[in-house]
Structure 1
Amino acid sequence: MANQIRPIVIKKITRRSVHHGGQWKIAYADFVTAMMAFFLLMWLLSTSSKAELQGISEYFQTPLNIMPSRGDGTHDGTSIIQGGGQDLTQQKGRLKKYNPEADTKPLNLKAAQAELERLDKRRLEDLKDRLERLIESNATMRQFRKQLLVDITTEGLRIQIVDDRNRPMFALARAELEPHTRDILQKLGDVLNEMPNKVSLSGHTDATPYASGEKHYSNWELSADRANASRRELVAGGMSEQKIMRVVGLSSAALFDKDDPINPINRRISIIVMSKKAAAALDKEGSETKKIKSGTVVNSQTLRLADSG
């Protein structure tokens, strides 16, 4: 039995590989979370008002002395543990009241208004350049470019279509537009509709009176009818009728050539792309007139009218 040969037992142990590379994912997730919290904090600070930022600063200077009161009002804002830093809410022994108007920096309205006017003027100058290019590129308008006057005034961009002895815009002593005048106004209406500004139209005549007299129909009616006819052509060209703020006839009261009242250049249609300031002033004038008619406003002008009546 002692010499009996024991069988040889061979044990094969299969080692399984264990991956230990997943720990970096946890670290990376913690890093991304921290970065997200950091950017969220930066965003909150950038959108906070001056008063809120001051409150946050005061909290970190005295985190234990400055504590919110309870709903029952029993907490006095003190703690048995002394906090550090200077309490900026205390001033001469009294609690400083929060004043949002004092903490908020007042807006510089004059600077903002000046910036809006600058941008408005820039748009009008760009429109002037575009109209000048349109006149040169269009065959009909280029033919009459000497009768198209474009300039910038205190009211806005002014486009004047003046008459010529050989190329009148209207039929003689009538409000009927010539075919080339219709084309010009319709092309202008398409361009002006792209601007947000309001538009004002005025009709002008020369000082030549009617041979039959001006009792029933005068240059005043003629200038108003011509301005209204021009308005219809602008609308037909694509301009919104809501953009038109004023249509007036001025007869020969505002001559282009004051030295020669019967000069054909005095017969013209003036289109003004109004600046924001001029449109606001005209709108205010209309509102005041409406109040006067309704009897809600009484001023010296109203009283003079009442006395003269």
Structure 2
Amino acid sequence: MAGKDDKPTVIVRRVKKIQGGGHHGGSWKVAYADFVTAMMAFFLVMWLVGALTTKQREAISDYFKNPSPMKGTSPAPSPGMNGPGGASNSMIKLGGTMELPKGPGKEFTRDPGDQQNEAEKRQQDRQRLEQLMQDLKEAIDKSQALEPFKDQLLLDITPEGLRIQIVDKQNRPMFDLGSAKLMPYTVGILHEIAGFVNRVPNRVSIAGHTDTANYASRFGYSNWELSADRANAARRALLEGGMDAAKVARVVGFGAAVLFDRQNPLNPINRRISIVVMSKEAEDAALGQSESLPVPVAAAAAAQPAASAPSPAAVATQAAN
């Protein structure tokens, strides 16, 4: 039994009052930052949309309806890398507002009309080169100075542009033997060509070619150096004939790598100068302005010489005409 002096134990619990609402952590700061970021993104989008023309906004709307590089207005999902309805593999160029085209007549990058305009420009470019070829043929037919060399001037349209080839003939070479010195009549031919080349805005590519006969008169000097020197000699003659110096986009020597007559590597016709009035697409590729064409057109031609050079039979036909 407990004694009379025993007292019950009293436990006092005090509740601590927190003044001012207490500390709630930093979660509200994260939410506020998200809100501010969303508002900034919203106003940025509104500003960009406001900087576009009506036609550009329509082009953007059309892209999201049909995210395909092909022209069309179908709202159906385009087939992407993951099948129909999957992610589209078409590329969208992203950049700042400094890259946005402004003013009337300027169209947005994804505007389907751009593809049509590019096709029209290529067609006009080809028509211009075909007309130049026709004018050259007529001039060669009418010129008494060029009449003796008619069978040494070969004209054709290639994927790179209008190609004018001046080829050697037995007992009528363009250069002194083993030299880059032009014969007087070759200078006259190049002077005549220079006037025609200046009629069009297209740039030109000049290439020198040799046969497979070894060049051994100087140590370290081969057909590669000889063909490059001959191409440069042709360039100088064209400039003397009045061609604008800024029109030259490329001067190269191929040596005997791209033979005209592959069946007979020593045929004099393999020794030639090729002047190409370049198409706009080939010009961009040669000057490194096109990311879609990383391999120069000349390199592609070198890889497939039979497809780019006329056959000897075709030369005989042209000579007969």
Smaller-chain TM-score bracket: 0.5 to 0.7
Q: Which aligned pairs between 1:133-172 and structure 2 lie closer than 5 A? A: 133-172=138-177
Task: Count residues in correspondence.
Answer: 191
Q: Which aligned pairs between 1:1-309 and structure 2 lie closer than 5 A? A: 100=54, 101-103=56-58, 106-212=111-217, 215-284=219-288
**Shift in alpha-carbon separation, 1:209–1:103, aligned structure 2, 3 A:** closer
RMSD: 2.2
**Shift in alpha-carbon separation, 1:287–1:222, aligned structure 2, 3 A:** farther
Question: How far off its partner does 1:286 sit?
Answer: 9.3
In the aligned structure 1, how far is the partner of 2:231 from the partner of 2:291?
A: 24
In the aligned structure 2, how far is the partner of 1:193 from the partner of 1:287?
A: 28
Residues 116-157 of structure 1: CA deviation (Å, up to 9, x unaligned): 000000000000000001111111211101000000000000
Counterpart residue identity of residue 275, structure 1: S
Question: How far off its partner does 1:206 sit?
Answer: 0.2
Counterpart residue identity of residue 279, structure 1: E
Counterpart residue identity of residue 194, structure 1: R
Counterpart residue identity of residue 238, structure 2: L
Question: How far off its partner does 1:102 sit?
Answer: 3.1
Counterpart residue identity of residue 204, structure 1: H
Counterpart residue identity of residue 259, structure 1: Q
Counterpart residue identity of residue 57, structure 2: A
**Shift in alpha-carbon separation, 1:119–1:286, aligned structure 2, 3 A:** closer
Secondary structure in structure 2 of the residue aligned to 1:230: helix
Secondary structure in structure 2 of the residue aligned to 1:117: helix
Question: How far off its partner does 1:231 sit?
Answer: 0.3
Counterpart residue identity of residue 248, structure 1: V
- Give the TM-score taking structure 1 as reference length: 0.59
In the aligned structure 2, how far is the partner of 1:250 from the partner of 1:286?
A: 24
- Give the TM-score taking structure 2 as reference length: 0.56
**Shift in alpha-carbon separation, 1:286–1:226, aligned structure 2, 3 A:** farther
Question: How far off its partner does 1:216 sit?
Answer: 1.7
Secondary structure in structure 2 of the residue aligned to 1:157: strand
Counterpart residue identity of residue 200, structure 2: M
Q: Do 2:284 and 2:290's aligned partners in 1 also have CA atoms closer than 8 Å?
A: no
* Structure 1, gaps ≥5 residues long: 1-96, 289-309
Q: Do 2:190 and 2:241's aligned partners in 1 also have CA atoms closer than 8 Å?
A: yes
In the aligned structure 2, how far is the partner of 1:208 from the partner of 1:141?
A: 29
In the aligned structure 2, how far is the partner of 1:116 from the partner of 1:287?
A: 19
In the aligned structure 1, how far is the partner of 2:207 from the partner of 2:290?
A: 17
Deviating beyond 4 angstroms after TM superposition, the runs of 4 or more aligned structure 1 residues are: 285-288
Counterpart residue identity of residue 167, structure 2: V
Residues 212-267 of structure 1: CA deviation (Å, up to 9, x unaligned): 5x742111111011000000000000100100000001000000000111110000
In the aligned structure 2, how far is the partner of 1:217 from the partner of 1:286?
A: 34
Residues 17-53 of structure 1: CA deviation (Å, up to 9, x unaligned): xxxxxxxxxxxxxxxxxxxxxxxxxxxxxxxxxxxxx
**Shift in alpha-carbon separation, 1:112–1:159, aligned structure 2, 3 A:** same
In the aligned structure 1, how far is the partner of 2:286 from the partner of 2:144?
A: 36
Structure with larger Rg: 1
**Shift in alpha-carbon separation, 1:287–1:240, aligned structure 2, 3 A:** farther
Identity, % of aligned pairs?
A: 49
**Shift in alpha-carbon separation, 1:119–1:246, aligned structure 2, 3 A:** same
